[in-house]
Amino acid sequence: MSNRLADAASPYLRQHADNPVDWYPWGEEALARAREESRPILLSIGYSACHWCHVMAHESFTDPAIARIMNAGFVNIKVDREERPDLDQVYQLAQQMMTRRAGGWPLTVFLTPDLLPFYGGTYFPKSPRYGLPGFGDLLQQILTVYHQRGEEVQAQATALGEALGRLEKGHDPAEPPRWPSAAQAALTALGQHFDRRWGGLGDAPKFPQVPTLEFLALQAAQGNALGLEMLGQTLAAMARGGLFDQIGGGFFRYSVDARWEIPHFEKMLYDNGQMLSIYALGYALHADPLYVEVMEASVSWLMREMRGPEGGFYSALDADSAGEEGHFYLWQRSAVENALDPELRALALRCWGLDRPANFEGRAWHLQRSMEPAAAAMALGEAEGTAAQNLQRARERLFHVRAERPRPGLDDKRLCAWNALTLRGLALAGRTFGRQEWIRLAQETADFLRARLWQNGRLYAVWKEERAYQPAYLDDHAFLLQALLELLQGEFRIEDLHFARDLADALLDRFMDARHGGFFFTADDQPAPVTRMKPSQDQAIPTGNGVAILALQRLGHLLGEGRYLDAAALGLQAFGGDLEEHGLAVPTLLCALREAQEPLPTMIIRGSLTALESWRATLSGQYPGDRVMVFIANGMKDLPPILERAAPAGGRAWLCRGLQCLAPVDSPEELLALLE
């Protein structure tokens, strides 16, 4: 027997297709039944790689007794938060307002038939433990309260809905603060949260928080020693620790400890796309060869395990395999010793921490880079010069051994926003490290998104089973616009510029709050439950509002398009209060504020293809996050008038900052002099 989820495209929903629960996907059929029968809605939101989602499913959603309660009393709706971030965003916030606790997944929220939340939480165990009620008991209590105290439930739900609705107006509009003071206040606050022993912010669990790291990179690029220290220590600690897969490449979602040693074992595309960007920026500030190793291994992992045959990247790898979290990645010391030849064994054990006590629940090892190869070789009395090559040989051997294990589940849907984060990372890393093949991979990803997800002038959020579905959100448009602007700097293609303008126009036409400023998460023709959100704070991914404002500023200056600049300025005013009072929570908006008040140098360089390569080589040492530089070959067609400039074959450059432009120069050395 299977329920209505058997026909869903989402791998997460299909995981629940055989539950005895009468699940519905979110849609009019379920919502109409709730209204007609005056039933409460049990809304369960999760995603395919979520460990505790699997636990709750195994404990409760496969239990016939609990399923009978759910089916008799509720309309049960299962949602993939990666397909419907709009639903997740609203009901996560509602859960936090109701419980005054952090959100997470699985998210369990109870709604009235008019979709207003009246009770919620995250994971609930089958039987009472962890200070939580058993799920079956909770269901009975919810039904009793709903039917016996219905007026109170409705009043509470209405009040919460009104509180959420007030957020539609955005935050307190105000004149944005001045960049230097706002940046210093945020940097001081970050310094108070910085873990000077292990790197990163706060204690366990410890997340990468890439938007904050990008703010630190900006500070470091402006000569701030504290910003460089915090960024460098964090990047090195993540690369050497268990957050990074030392054998197969790629980063896990977060560390359960403060030392970056033991991760939660999901691998999410959105994390890894952002990691490409921040390690590229970090390398431009401090050329640590470790960053090169991390980038090469991560791109190899993306190509090998995450790229679809048609292009684009899959969403996630599960934390679990063979019924155990981390099973695919954990080692017994005897297995490592048996896999390696004697000349590699001692070095590998020393470098990856296997000469120490087991670090995973006292029974297994999760590998981390405990010692550098040369130092380990010296301690062992071995040749230092070949240590790195020998460790790579050991890595390759363990990789082949590990490949024989049961593999984690793959969520093979392709999400526009997460692919855009990865596209940007590939483009930025490609030009930072001089890796043209990475830029080509970024271009192929852009072509996939344009061909599959841009249809009849509209962007879609998801591609699965040869079809695009779910109209795209703010993040999809903003992240892709930012990524295309990065790609244009790696290699200028006119189709990428046209696509960028289409996305910018869609932001203004469908998402912008023309009255109060800023951008709603959903388009004006997308039905929104309870309210249209206008998010400002960065989470695991940057806020779409911050990225949209950043990208519109850059595109507006490149094309001399006042509409884009005006929309960005109005957006910063919409979040002026947040920038003044809560800078630590809005690092992407802080970066946008800086570029609004201190515009980046924007450079247009034209000439023959041969000359442009010479110009690019001379200018390649510039920090990539602090400029916009496009190289456009003579003879390119269909350019907007502002880019259609006459240049000699040997090349000519135009430099502008904001609305101020200097006279053109005819050599890269002259351009460097102007920049300095």
**Residues 653, 668 contacting (CB under 8 angstroms):** yes
Above pLDDT 70, what percent of the chain?
A: 99
**Number of other residues whose CB lies within 10 A of the CB of residue 403:** 11
Q: What is the pLDDT averaged over residues 573-587?
A: 94
SS3 110: strand
**Residues 317, 266 contacting (CB under 8 angstroms):** yes
Q: Is it the case that residue 281 has pLDDT exceeding 80? A: yes
Query: What are the pLDDT digits (tens) for 219-231?
Result: 999 999 999 999 9
Give pLDDT, residue 169: 59
**Residues 217, 278 contacting (CB under 8 angstroms):** yes
- Structure token pair of residue 58: 């195994």
The per-type count for the chain, helices as H runs and strands as E runs, is 26, 20
Q: Is it the case that residue 456 has pLDDT exceeding 80? A: yes
SS3 327: coil
Q: Residue 23's beta-bridge partner residues? A: 76
Q: Is it the case that residue 408 has pLDDT exceeding 90? A: yes
Q: Please give the Cα distance from 272 to 423 (Å, whole number).
A: 11
- Structure token pair of residue 63: 């239990």
Q: Residue 629's beta-bridge partner residues? A: 603
Query: Is this prediction's pTM over 0.75?
Result: yes
Give pLDDT, residue 2: 81
Query: Which CATH architecture best describes the domain 179-321+411-597?
Result: Alpha/alpha barrel (1.50)
C-alpha torsion angle, residues 424, 426, 431, 434 (rounded to 10): 180
Q: What is the pLDDT averaged over residues 393-399?
A: 97
Strands 652-657 and 660-661: antiparallel
Query: What are the pLDDT digits (tens) for 240-268?
Result: 999 999 999 999 999 999 999 999 999 99
Q: Which helix (H) or strand (E) holds 674?
A: helix 668-675
Q: What is the mean pLDDT of the chain?
A: 95
Strands 628-633 and 601-607: parallel
Preceding peptide of 309 cis, ω within 30°: no
Task: Let me know if the fold of 4-166 is the same as that of 329-404.
Answer: no
Give pLDDT, residue 568: 98
Q: Is it the case that residue 103 has pLDDT exceeding 90? A: no
Q: What is the pLDDT averaged over residues 319-332?
A: 94
Give pLDDT, residue 136: 97
- From the list 176, 225, 284, the residue with the least C-alpha distance to 590 is 176
pLDDT band at 594 (very low <50, low <70, confident <90, very high): very high
Q: What is the pLDDT averaged over residues 366-385?
A: 94
The hierarchical CATH code for the domain 329-404 is: 1.10.10
Q: Is it the case that residue 170 has pLDDT exceeding 60? A: no
Give pLDDT, residue 171: 60
Q: Which helix (H) or strand (E) holds 147?
A: helix 135-148
Q: Is it the case that residue 28 has pLDDT exceeding 80? A: yes
Q: In the chain, where are the structural domains located?
A: 4-166, 179-321+411-597, 329-404, 601-675
Query: What are the pLDDT digits (tens) for 527-570?
Result: 888 889 999 999 999 999 999 999 999 999 999 999 999 999 99
Residues whose CB is less than 8 angstroms from the CB of residue 507 and which lie 6 or more positions away in sequence, other chains included: 474, 477, 478, 481, 519, 548, 552, 567
Q: How far apart, in Å, are the Cα atoms of 268 and each of 190, 251, 327?
A: 25, 8, 17
Half-sphere exposure of 516 (CA within 13 A, CB side): 16
Give pLDDT, residue 174: 83
Above pLDDT 90, what percent of the chain?
A: 94
| Sign of the dihedral through C-alpha 273, 275, 280, 281 | positive
pLDDT band at 172 (very low <50, low <70, confident <90, very high): low
What are the residue ranges of helices labelled H in 194-247? 210-221, 225-240
Give pLDDT, residue 512: 97
Query: What are the pLDDT digits (tens) for 621-652?
Result: 889 999 999 999 999 999 999 999 999 999 99
Residues whose CB is less than 8 angstroms from the CB of residue 525 and which lie 6 or more positions away in sequence, other chains included: 471, 510
Q: Please give the Cα distance from 311 to 463 (Å, whole number).
A: 11
How big is the chain by its Cα radius of gyration, in Å? Answer: 26
- Hunting for tokens 């970050």 — which residue is that? 190
pLDDT band at 614 (very low <50, low <70, confident <90, very high): very high
Q: What is the pLDDT averaged over residues 128-147?
A: 95
What's the helix, strand, coil split of the chain in %, to 5?
A: 50, 15, 35
Give pLDDT, residue 168: 61
Kindly report which listed range (159-168, 206-215, 463-472) carries the lowest average pLDDT score: 159-168
Q: Please give the Cα distance from 574 to 105 (Å, whole number).
A: 30
Q: Please give the Cα distance from 156 to 424 (Å, whole number).
A: 44
Give pLDDT, residue 90: 95
Q: Is it the case that residue 352 has pLDDT exceeding 80? A: yes
CATH topology for the 4-166 domain: Glutaredoxin (3.40.30)
Kindly report which listed range (443-457, 508-522, 616-630) carries the lowest average pLDDT score: 616-630
**Number of other residues whose CB lies within 10 A of the CB of residue 454:** 19
